[in-house]
A and B are shown apart, each in its own frame.
Chain A
Amino acid sequence: MNLETSHTHFHTLVVLVENKPGVLTRVAGLFARRGFNIDSLAVAPTNDEKFSRITIVVDAESAPLDQIIKQLDKLINVVDIRKLDPPNSVERELMLVAVAAPSTRRSEIMDLVRIFDATVMNVGIDQMMLSISGSPTRVDDFEQLLRPYGIVEIQRTGRVALPKLRKTD
């Protein structure tokens, strides 16, 4: 797991695609056969049911970003590609994490939950399941701080992003 997702060689691409069967395979297949690396990927329908949005974090060390974008754009079902750089975009990621939490350490963990504005989703005899959504760096920080307690299972969604809104006319 890369803990510094804002590393300069990672780029976020927001790809608008036609909502047709097999489109995700086309995108993923293109990355595989051209030797481009995907760091994370999130897909969901948009407000227009004809289109879906794929947020891909790419490792531009594997290939020039420009080439990745141009090859993606050649896919017939890809309608639009936006390259988002972190300062000009809003990025969010969701993490579910089960952490070892014997009763003696629960309050410490609860402190972290409060500080990070995370949520307790489920509690077991000696484990807690937490949820956090936020910027990828915040999610990273939370994960890192939980690590000493013993992470049992973890699931991150991969980031989704949209460009920041215009501030002036």
Chain B
Amino acid sequence: MQIDGGQALIRSLELEGVEVIFGLPGGAILPVYDPIIDSPIRHILVRHEQGAGHMAEGYAHATGRPGVAMVTSGPAATNIVTPLCDAMLDSVPLVVITGQVPLSAIGTDAFQECDTTGITMAVTKHNFLVTNAQDIPQIIHEAFHIATTGRPGPVLVDIPKDIVDPRNPRSAMQWYEPNSINLPGYNPQVTPDPAGLRAAAELILASKQPVIYAGGGILKARAAEALRELAELCDIHVVTTLMARGAFPDDHRLCLGMPGMHGNYTAVTSMQESDLLIALGSRFDDRVTGKVPAFAPNAKIIHVDIDPAELGKVRRADVGIQGDCRLAIEGILAALKELGAPDAQPDRREWKSRISGWRENFPLTYEQSSSGDLLKPQFVLEMLRKNTPDDCILASGVGQHQMWASQYWRFNHPYTWINSGGLGTMGFSVPAAIGAKVGRPDRMVWAVDGDGCFQMTAQELVTATAERIPIKVAILNNAYLGMVRQWQEMFYEERYSEVYLSPDLPDYKMWAEAMGCVGMRVEDPEDVEAAIIKANEIDDRPVVIDFRTDAAEKVFPMIPPGLSNSDIVVDPTQAALLRRERGR
């Protein structure tokens, strides 16, 4: 059947099971927007292309399915570079379609021309410039294959206007359904080597102080169940990195929470003191390791990753296992049982009692404010968690509020935490929450945002109102770029440079209302809970609550940049106790 390239593109997306596209049309992509009218695929019209990219990411995080965004050429393509890079660093499966000037105009500095494949080469897992309408179905099929297999990531497909424009003879093509992948250089190995699995099991059974270091790969591999089985079989404590929050239930007795620069004391210290780190889908990121040579100095390392380049990249693994995390954990479990686990394990009572001691002495802590004082951000998060369902999805921006959210939220289900970990993209939360809600309309979705972040992408709330996507946004408004302020306070002698934002400019309540949302403002601790309950009752439009929080509040614990994890700085109220602990 002869159709045109634009129709072929939409059909190809339908064939891949795409249910929603986040996008914004423009000159070069115009011909593809015509067949969208007749397609069952839902299109969500964003207000800025960056929003489209982050929505697609939020959708992918929440559903496990690839997120799809479609934008035009030139500035639209450059606007979506940030989400591509974000998805690259957090291994989020995305397929982004960009329009391009006609083939004959490429290289002429045509209107809205940019070298999209050149610009995005470093921030995509792969990209394609399609030069022939006949190739569209095959390339779209390959794009989805690359985005979703192996280590997931973003793939961009750049499509010149002439091959999708029905008025141009170059757009004519014979429709076909691709039935094979033609990528001779791409063959991700998912099956782990049995010898490595057995060696890992042997190390586990010999370890007296093991810790499971669970990373985002657990979620990508749908391995949360397997992880739980492993932890429970051998009774090993688990830390969940920023990307893995929810991969292991926070309420589980073996869960130690988040490690790293703002991790809790027990998670950081247990890793630091362990004799075996079982790294599952984690990548020894600098925010987790602190100063690398001083990281977990006595620990042997088991490292499981689907990406062989991660093995040995930062820390040499004693046992490196390349493969799918779920398959690897299941293999390790089988080997453990064969070797007599859980019985054939050393006595770990002393280790466990040390862990209990740390948990008891150094819990996360803050001082609640009294009525009439500014809110404590941690309190707002605790109230939010208390008043939302256990499977509520929380999306976050980047900064202090992100760290507090990760610290104070109790995540008990996988895929309930959506944030920008690797790239640290301010402005991520509002569009990501919208994408998550589109993918999981059955779930309550809250975005927690800082006032700085909110101002970067708030316009997407117009999209949310127009498309009836009832997300809820909690702005922790401390009138500062809070994390930068914290660093200036701690490391720049309280010289505050360009971090003050003002609590009232803009007026967040009025701004929310102008965008069709319900806007609220909360200034007193006693009003926090009531406002949250009221927000939860609204289900026909987005809600924004402007929580006025205390700018002096800092995120603790903190490992100062460049220092070892052993130099962790705890909340000032615990400092004396820590000195005694270290003196021992």
Residues of chain A having any CB pair with chain B under 8 Å: 17-18, 21-22, 25-26, 29, 33, 64, 66-67, 70-71, 73-80
Asked whether, in the complex, the Cβ of B121 is within 8 Å of the Cβ of A29, the reply is yes
Please state if B121 and A26 are interface contacts (CB–CB under 8 Å).
yes
Q: What is the CA–CA distance of A76 and B308 in the complex, to the nearest angstrom?
A: 14
Which residues, 106 to 128 on B, are CB-close (under 8 Å) to A? 117-118, 121-122, 125-126
Q: Considering the chains assembled together, what is the distance between the CA atoms of A26 and B126 in angstroms?
A: 10
Min CB distance B356 to A, Å, is: 40
A16: nearest residue on chain B (CB-CB)?
B185
B307 CB within 8 Å of chain A: yes
Q: Which B residues are closer than 8 A to A by beta carbons?
A: 117-118, 121-122, 125-126, 129, 146, 183-186, 307-309, 312-313
Q: Is the CB of B121 within 8 A of A74?
A: no
What is the distance, in angstroms, from A31's C-beta to the closest C-beta of chain B?
A: 12
Report the nearest B residue to A22, measured CB to CB: B117
**Minimum C-beta distance from A60 to chain B (A):** 14
A30 — nearest CB in chain B belongs to which residue? B122
Known: A21-B129, A22-B117, A33-B122. A76 touches B146 (CB 8 A): yes
List, in ascending order, chain A residues with CB within 8 A of B186's CB. Answer: 76
Q: B160 → chain A, closest Cβ, in Å? A: 13
Contact B309 A74 (CB under 8 A): yes
Q: In the complex the two chains form, is B185's CB within 8 Å of A76's CB?
A: yes
Q: Assuming A79-B184, A79-B185, is B307 touching A74 (CB within 8 A)?
A: yes
Pair B185/A70 contact, Cβ less than 8 Å: no
Contacts of A75 in B (CB 8 A): 185
Instruction: Across the interface, name the chain A residue whose C-beta is closest to B121.
Output: A29
Q: Which residues of B contact A80 (CB under 8 A)?
A: 185
User: Complex formed: what's the CA distance from A25 to B313 in Å?
Assistant: 24
Residues of B within 8 A of A66 (CB): 312
The answer to whether residues A78 and B185 also contact, given A22-B117, A67-B312 and a CB cut-off of 8 A, is yes
B512 shortest CB reach to chain A, Å: 40
Q: Is A18 a contact partner of B309 (Cβ separation < 8 A)?
A: no
- B313 cross-chain contacts in A, Cβ below 8 A: 67
**Cβ-defined partner of B121 (8 Å) among A25, A71, A73:** A25
Query: Can you spell out 24 A-B residue pairs with CB atoms less than 8 angstroms apart?
Result: A17-B185, A18-B185, A22-B118, A22-B121, A22-B129, A25-B118, A25-B121, A29-B121, A64-B312, A66-B312, A67-B309, A67-B312, A71-B309, A73-B308, A74-B307, A74-B309, A75-B185, A76-B126, A76-B146, A76-B183, A76-B185, A79-B184, A79-B185, A80-B185
Report A52 CB to chain B, min CB distance, Å: 12
Q: Separation in Å of the A139 CB from the closest CB of chain B?
A: 32
Sample of 9 more A-B contacts, CB < 8 Å, known A22-B117, A71-B309: A18-B184, A25-B121, A33-B122, A70-B309, A75-B185, A76-B125, A76-B146, A79-B184, A79-B185
Chain B residues whose CB sits within 8 angstroms of the CB of A77 once the complex forms: 185
For B185, list chain A residues within 8 Å (CB): 17-18, 75-80
* Chain B residues, CB < 8 A from A18: 184-185
- 3 closest A-B pairs by beta carbon, nearest first, are A70-B309, A79-B185, A76-B126
Nearest A residue to B118, CB-CB: A25
Across the interface, A29 reaches (CB within 8 A) one of B122, B129, B146, namely B122
What separation, in Å, do the CA atoms of A76 and B146 have in the docked complex? 9
The smallest beta-carbon distance between B389 and chain A, in angstroms, is: 40
Question: Chain A's nearest CB lies how many Å from the CB of B131?
Answer: 8
- In the assembled complex, the Cα of A77 lies from the Cα of B128 at a distance in Å of 11
Q: In whole angstroms, what is the CA distance A66 to B125 when docked?
A: 20
Chain A residues positioned under 8 Å from B307 (CB to CB): 74
CA A21 – CA B128 in complex, angstroms?
Answer: 10
Q: Which residues of A contact B312 (CB under 8 A)?
A: 64, 66-67
C-alpha spacing A100/B135, complex, angstroms: 55
The docked-state distance in angstroms from the alpha carbon of A10 to that of B318 is 27
Give B307 Cβ to nearest chain A Cβ, in Å. 7
Least CB separation from B309: chain A residue: A70
Complexed CA–CA distance, A17 and B184 (Å):
9
Q: Shortest CB–CB separation between residue B186 and chain A, in angstroms?
A: 5
The residue of chain A having its C-beta at the shortest distance from the C-beta of B131 within the complex is A21
C-alpha spacing A80/B185, complex, angstroms: 7
Nearest chain A residue, comparing its CB with the CB of B122: A33
Q: What is the bound-complex CA distance between A75 and B124, given in angstroms? A: 10
**For residue A29, which residues in chain B have a CB less than 8 angstroms away from its CB?**
121-122
CB nearest neighbor in B for A32: B122
Shortest A99–chain B CB gap in Å is: 40
Q: How far is the CA of A154 from the CA of B307 in the complex (A)?
A: 42
Cα distance A77–B129 in the bound complex, in angstroms: 14
Q: B309 contacts which chain A residues (CB < 8 A)?
A: 67, 70-71, 73-74
Q: How far is the CA of A77 from the CA of B126 in the complex (A)?
A: 9
CB distance from A44 to the nearest CB of B (A): 18
Which residue from chain B places its CB closest to the CB of A81 in the assembled complex? B185
Residues on A with beta carbons closer than 8 Å to the beta carbon of B183: 76
In the assembled complex, which residues on chain A have CB atoms less than 8 Å from the CB atom of B121? 22, 25-26, 29
Chain A residues near B125 (CB, 8 Å)? Answer: 76
Nearest-neighbor residue (CB-CB) of B155 within chain A: A76
CA A74 to CA B306, docked complex, whole Å = 11
Chain B residues whose C-beta falls within 8 Å of the C-beta of A70 in the assembled complex = 308-309
Shortest beta-carbon distance from A65 to chain B in Å: 12
B308 — which chain A residues lie within 8 A by C-beta? 70, 73
Complex CA gap A61/B28 in Å reads 46
Report the separation of the CA atoms of residues A29 and B183 in the bound assembly, to the nearest whole angstrom: 21
**Cα A74 to Cα B149 with chains together (Å):** 13
- A63 and chain B: residue at smallest CB distance: B313
Chain B residues, CB < 8 A from A73: 308-309
Which of B118, B184, B307, B312 has the largest number of chain A CB atoms within 10 A? B184
Q: Provide the bound-state CA to CA distance between A18 and B142, in Å.
A: 15
**Bound state CA distance, A72 and B521, in angstroms?**
52
Report the separation of the CA atoms of residues A69 and B156 in the bound assembly, to the nearest whole angstrom. 24
Report B-chain residues with C-beta under 8 Å of the C-beta of A71.
Answer: 309
Report Cα–Cα, A18/B184, bound state, in Å: 8
Closest B residue to A72 using CB positions: B309
Q: Which residues in B have their C-beta under 8 angstroms from that of A76?
A: 125-126, 146, 183, 185-186
Tell me how far the C-beta of A14 lies from the nearest C-beta in chain B, rounded to whole angstroms: 14
A66, A70, A74, A79: most-surrounded residue (chain B CB, <10 A): A74
From A22, A66, A76, name the one whose CB has the most chain B CB atoms within 10 angstroms. A76
Residue of A nearest to B124 (CB): A76
| Assembly CA distance A24 to B185 (angstroms) | 15
In the complex, what distance in Å separates the CA atom of A54 from the CA atom of B402? 45
Rounded to whole Å, the gap between the CB of B148 and the closest CB of chain A is 14
- Closest CB of chain B to A67's CB: distance in Å? 6
| CA–CA, A17 and B183, complex, Å | 11
| Nearest-CB residue, chain A, relative to B126 | A76
**Bound complex: CA A64 to CA B117 (Å):** 29
A70 to B185 Cα, complex, angstroms: 13
